[in-house]
Structures are given as C-alpha cells and as structure tokens.
Amino acid sequence: MTRKASPSFLEFFAGGGMARLGLGDGWTCAFANDFDPVKAATYRANFADAGSSNEEVHFHEGDVWTIAADRLPTADLAWASSPCQDFSLAGARAGLAGGRSSAFFGFWRLIQALAAEGRSPDTIVVENVVGLLTSHEGRDFTALCQALADAGYGFGALEIDAARFTPQSRPRVFVVASRRRADALAGPSPFHSRAVKAAFARLPAGLQAGWIWWGLAAPPARNTDLAALLEPDAAMAWSPPDKTRALLALMAPAQRAAVEAHVQGGGRAVGAVFRRMRDGQQRAEARFDGLAGCLRTPRGGSSRQTLLVIDQGEVRSRLLSPREGARLMGLPETYVLPRSQTAGLHVIGDGVAPPVVRWLAASLLEPLIDSKSASLAAE
C-alpha cells in the first residue's frame, strides 16, 4: 500500500490546536481558524507557523462565516470541533438553530463551496459533546447526517471517552465521514455506545443506508491516575480549613461516608469534587476512582473543579491548576498556556484530548488516507 507522505488537514474552530497536536507531525496543517482571541493567541504561541495576529498565514482569527472558500487550500481532511454549548446537557439545548452551534453551518457552507469546485476533502470529522446525538430528540443529528449524505459522504459516529487515555472523564462524539466506503475499516467497536446505536436507530432508512459502523479498536489500558498528574503538595496554595469544612458540609451523607472511610484508612486518597444543583440544593460530589470529572470552561455549566486530598487523616482542598488540567487533557509539558488561570482553564476546557485524536488518526483516519493512495496507485 502506498502511503501519502504527509496528509493535509483543515482545522475549523481550532481553539488551542489540540486536534492538530493529536494528528501529529505526520500531518500538515493547511488551514486553521478560531474566532476567540484567547484561543487564537494560544494557538500562535504553540505553533510557530501560525504567524502573528498581523499576518495572513495558515491561521485565520475570525468568525467562520467571514472565511471565503478561495482562502482554503485543498486538503485530505476537514476537522470541525464546532461550539458545543447548544448541544451540552448543561446548556439550554438550543440545538443546531442555536447562536453558537449555527457556526456549524458556517463551516458547512465552505465544504459545499469546495465541493462545487471539485476539491472538497475526502474525509470529515465533526467532534462534539454526546448531547449532539439527542439534541431536539435526534433531529439535529439527523440534519447533520443528511448534510453529509447529500454531499456524497458515508458516515458513522463513535463515542469515545478520554478516560481510556488520560485520567479525565470526557466523553465526546466523533462523526467520521468519508467519500469512500472503506469496508475493510468497518466492524465492531467498543465505541459503538448505546447512545450511538440509539441515534442510528432514529435515522430514516435512507440515511441508515449511508451509515458506516467504523471498526475502531480499543486502546491499551490507561496506566496513570489523577494523583500521578498533580503538582507536589508543597508547591500549591491550599484552601483555608474553614473553606474545606464548608465544602464537606455540602456533601450528601453517602459522600461524607466515603470521605470518612478514607480518613479512617490513614493513607492518601485524591478525589475530584464538583459543586452541582440537586433537587434545588447545592451539593458537592467527590469521586475517588482515580479520574477527574470533565474539565469545562470557567463559564460552563459546572463550577471549577476542586481537589480533595486526604492524607494521614488530614483533609485538605484546593483548586485544580491550569497546568494540571493540561496534563489531564494529555497535553505535553511544553504546551504554552495563557498566563491567566481563567484563560488557561478556558482554553483547555473547550478542547479535544489529543491522545483521543491520535488513536482515531492512527486507527482510522490514516488508513482511510492509505486506502485512497492505494486506489490511485492501482488506476
């Protein structure tokens, strides 16, 4: 099989460039965009070829609706991590008609324009929160599938939790569309979740006919936990004891019992804590399974994540730092974060975990590219 030396991609809604990091050095970023100034600055800080804010290079800072199709080079892959707030279970569920998620159509009009010129990408990935599958009783997902089918793509969805790669619970849906059936890449997968199967079942028969059950294999077992990624205790600022007591007071009896069990055990335990509303009452909920909860932006539906550390019978708490959050996303230590903690959490909380993208690329996207190269060589 002939391997294309360096497949190229267009990255829409690029944020801090986490999909690019996941695709890796074997891919060439031909174009990227984001409208958020903080994310754009972070992208430029991490990728030298992005230029400065005054240069018109491959990175475009601005709304996707302002991009002209002739600005886009021809590429093998288009990646779109469109704004997810209107699909999120924590949001108002406005769906594709919502102000933010309507950005998807700004992206899609560019794909249609490229198709009219005969140079649309052979492969498309749309990444979003799991709520995409059920938004408006599945009508938004059906609309997405219809758009892909009308453009001549076969498609299928995978639900992948970043927890398989890094100690953060972060389920996301990846809709992978291809102009090639690539039957050899179809098959069973642990990522055909119940939600994905239900979304498929809701599709009209005509769209089901275009569905591909991508056979993405499971990765090796993760060998790190939350505690392994934290900064040394002595280097961090801890909450005052009264604030920790107030946090514990917000816990339901079962949660308090779990904390007390760790206290009595006398060892070290690290838990991730979120504050949530339960039946109109604010509650603190801790998990001690070695995973952090899903990182979110500071303006998201849940508060900033807190760490609860129990050691030798002492209970302390503190906020998760942006660098620790970056590690939970699978970002390298060299990744440049904004100086502001709020800005840093904003960038990482809106991103896609690079290890997930790498597994998807190695197991599916790159074989799709290879299948095209092999077909061309045979002609």
Task: Output the pTM of the full model.
Answer: 0.91
Asked if 145 and 210 touch (Cβ cutoff 8 Å), the reply is yes
Residue in 29, 84, 145, 294 annotated catalytic:
84
Answer yes or no: do 273 and 372 share one domain.
Answer: no
Q: Are strands 59-61 and 28-34 parallel, antiparallel or unpaired?
A: parallel
Cα first-last separation, the chain: 13
How many separate domains does the chain show?
A: 2
What CATH code is carried by the domain that includes residue 152?
3.40.50.150
Give the amino acid at 321. S
Q: Which two tokens stand for residue 131?
A: 């709520």
Answer yes or no: do 205 and 272 share one domain.
Answer: no
Answer yes or no: do 206 and 154 share one domain.
Answer: yes
Answer yes or no: do 294 and 211 share one domain.
Answer: no
Cα atoms found within 13 Å of the Cα of residue 161, Cβ hemisphere only: 15
| pLDDT score for 105 | 86
Asked if 111 and 151 touch (Cβ cutoff 8 Å), the reply is yes
Residue 326 lies in a domain: no
Residue 213 lies in a domain: yes
Summarize pLDDT for 210-227 with one digit per residue, the tens: 999 999 999 999 999 999
Nearest CA to 247 out of 276, 225, 290, 288 is that of 276
84 is catalytic: yes
Sequential pLDDT tens for the chain (379 residues): 445 578 999 999 999 999 999 999 999 999 999 999 999 999 999 998 876 655 556 899 999 999 999 999 999 999 999 876 555 544 555 666 665 557 888 899 999 999 999 999 999 999 999 999 998 899 989 989 999 999 999 999 999 999 999 999 999 999 999 998 788 999 999 999 999 999 999 999 999 999 999 999 999 999 999 999 999 999 999 999 999 999 999 999 999 999 999 999 989 999 999 888 888 888 899 999 999 999 987 764 445 789 999 999 999 999 999 999 999 999 999 999 999 999 999 999 999 999 999 999 999 999 998 876 545 444 4
Summarize pLDDT for 89-131 with one digit per residue, the tens: 445 556 666 655 578 888 999 999 999 999 999 999 999 999 9
How many Å is the Cα radius of gyration of the chain?
Answer: 22
Residue 142 lies in a domain: yes
Q: Give the DSSP letter of residue 362.
A: I
Answer yes or no: do 213 and 236 share one domain.
Answer: no
Answer yes or no: do 207 and 243 share one domain.
Answer: no
Q: Which domain holds residue 192?
A: 8-218+348-378
3-class state of residue 242 by DSSP: helix
Answer yes or no: do 85 and 155 share one domain.
Answer: yes
